[in-house]
Amino acid sequence: MSREWLRRLAAPVLVLLVSVAAGAQPPAAPVSEDTVHEVATQLRCVVCQSLSVADSPSEMASQMRGIIRARLAAGERPAEVIQYFVDRYGEWILLAPRRRGFNLLVWLFPLVAVATGLVLVATIVRRWTRRRRDGVAAPVNVDPAMSERIRREMERGT
């Protein structure tokens, strides 16, 4: 590659780098659709059953996505946008309940249920095995005269 080539390449590369750097600055940055989507997936579509604002094709959800976009563009952080919706609709608007207070039950109950199940299975299995062991140990208590007779009859049989 000649020097002439390098010189010709340098200008567009420089322009590209400068524009990327300018684009990275927060005030000039357009709102990324990924951020809008990320906020929208956490919010319940108010006119649907169990659909997020990101997934619903309804007009209400599309307007809500527009509001999310506008608030992010105005410089709000995603958490602030979510809080704006919570202030108006209550925590109902959140698809996943916040991990505090009564809501913790939702997060803890499955763990408690699994733990209880494991303890239950362990207890039952231990009880079964203990009974089996008792069963094997039983012949020890057989009358010596009787075991002697069994032994003799077995020898006679062979």
* Closest distance to other proteins from the beta carbon of 63 (Å): 3
Total residues found in the chain within this entry: 158
* Residue number, 14 or 124, with CB nearest to other proteins: 124
* Residue number, 59 or 153, with CB nearest to other proteins: 59
Q: Which residues bind other proteins (CB under 8 A)?
A: 46-47, 59-60, 63-64, 66-67, 70, 85-90, 92
* Closest distance to other proteins from the beta carbon of 54 (Å): 16
* Residue number, 127 or 149, with CB nearest to other proteins: 127
* Closest distance to other proteins from the beta carbon of 120 (Å): 8
Q: How far is CA 10 from CA 13, 14, 15, 36, 111, in A?
A: 5, 6, 9, 36, 60
Alpha-carbon gap, residue 138 to 68, rounded angstroms: 75
* Residue number, 104 or 150, with CB nearest to other proteins: 104
Alpha-carbon gap, residue 41 to 64, rounded angstroms: 11
b vs e for 8-39, b when ≥16 Cβ sit within 10 Å of the residue's Cβ?
Answer: eeeeeeeeeeeeeeeeeeeeeeeeeeeebeeb
* Closest distance to other proteins from the beta carbon of 33 (Å): 18
